[in-house]
């Protein structure tokens, strides 16, 4: 085939969290159908990474939806955050508390999202939320894969258990934000 016979095109994925969640389920399913240890580990690693990426993309979608539907003028940090999520602006150059702490997942779960939804922070030292902690545990496993170091081995039993619970962990996480007051329905890709 010569170059003129090739079809060149692009494809835009319009719902990245949905695609990533589907990929995670695909790799989790593949992990249950192989006996070969290296394939098993490969599929488990991929599933953990994709589950977290899907959920974090969904968190950004949630932030965007809540901010776009506010019935008041957005605060400066909210505008910066919305611009970052919507357009990729580098809002972290702003030094206010929320933009600096956006990249810390625990802060995003306990402080930023609740603050956006109902103007309140949640103190994780005195009020641990099971849904947030379960997702943080999944993210910790993802981080130990992505940022591998010999001192942090991913233990098989823990990995298998959390991967098998991942769909429910993510569904529960978003349901918790709806319970807190996010005026939305659960994402279609989580149903």
pLDDT single digits (tens) 60-74: 999 999 999 998 999
Q: Is residue 75, in this structure, part of any structural domain at all?
A: no
Instruction: Report the CATH number that the domain containing residue 24 is assigned in CATH.
Output: 1.20.120
pLDDT tens-digit series, residues 135-166: 999 999 999 889 876 655 566 788 899 999 99
Q: Is residue 115, in this structure, part of any structural domain at all?
A: yes
pLDDT tens-digit series, residues 19-62: 999 999 999 999 999 999 999 999 999 999 999 999 999 999 99
Find the mean pLDDT for residues 112-141.
Answer: 90
* 3, pLDDT greater than 70: no
Domain count, the chain: 1
Q: Is residue 170, in this structure, part of any structural domain at all?
A: yes
Instruction: Please give the pLDDT value at position 184.
Output: 84
Instruction: Please give the pLDDT value at position 122.
Output: 83
Q: Is residue 186, in this structure, part of any structural domain at all?
A: yes
Instruction: Please give the pLDDT value at position 95.
Output: 62
Q: Is residue 85, in this structure, part of any structural domain at all?
A: no
> What is the domain extent for residue 117?
3-69+105-190
Instruction: Please give the pLDDT value at position 76.
Output: 85
Please return the burial class of 13, using the count of CB atoms within 10 Å of its CB with bins 0-12, 13-18 and 19+: exposed
Instruction: Please give the pLDDT value at position 14.
Output: 75
Beta carbons of 142 and 52 less than 8 angstroms apart: yes
Beta strand residue intervals within 4-160, DSSP E = none
Q: Is residue 91, in this structure, part of any structural domain at all?
A: no
Q: Is residue 83, in this structure, part of any structural domain at all?
A: no
Q: Is residue 89, in this structure, part of any structural domain at all?
A: no
Instruction: Please give the pLDDT value at position 121.
Output: 77
DSSP-assigned letters across all residues of 35-61: --HHHHHHHHHHHHHHHHHHHHHHHHH
Q: For residue 186, give Cα distances in angstroms to 54, 124, 148, 151, 191.
A: 14, 24, 33, 38, 7
Distance separating alpha carbons of residues 92 and 86, to the nearest angstrom: 14
Find the mean pLDDT for residues 90-105.
Answer: 67
Rg, C-alpha atoms of the chain: 19
Q: For residue 187, give Cα distances in angstroms to 16, 59, 106, 181.
A: 12, 11, 22, 15
């Amino acid at each position: 085939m010569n170059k003129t016979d090739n079809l060149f095109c692009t494809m835009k994925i319009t719902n990245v969290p949905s695609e990533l969640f589907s990929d995670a389920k695909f790799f989790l399913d593949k992990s249950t159908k192989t006996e070969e240890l290296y394939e098993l580990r490969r599929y488990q690693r991929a599933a953990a990474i994709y589950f977290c990426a899907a959920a974090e993309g969904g968190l950004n979608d949630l932030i965007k939806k809540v901010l776009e539907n506010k019935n008041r003028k957005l605060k400066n940090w909210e505008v910066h955050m919305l611009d970052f999520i919507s357009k990729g602006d580098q809002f972290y150059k702003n030094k206010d508390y929320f933009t600096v702490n956006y990249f810390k997942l625990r802060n995003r779960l306990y402080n930023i999202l609740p603050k956006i939804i109902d103007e309140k922070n949640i103190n994780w030292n005195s009020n641990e939320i099971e849904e947030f902690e379960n997702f943080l545990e999944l993210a910790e496993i993802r981080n130990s894969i992505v940022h591998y170091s010999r001192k942090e081995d991913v233990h098989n039993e823990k990995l298998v258990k959390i991967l098998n619970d991942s769909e429910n962990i993510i569904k529960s996480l978003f349901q918790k934000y709806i319970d807190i007051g996010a005026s939305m329905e659960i994402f279609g890709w989580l149903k």
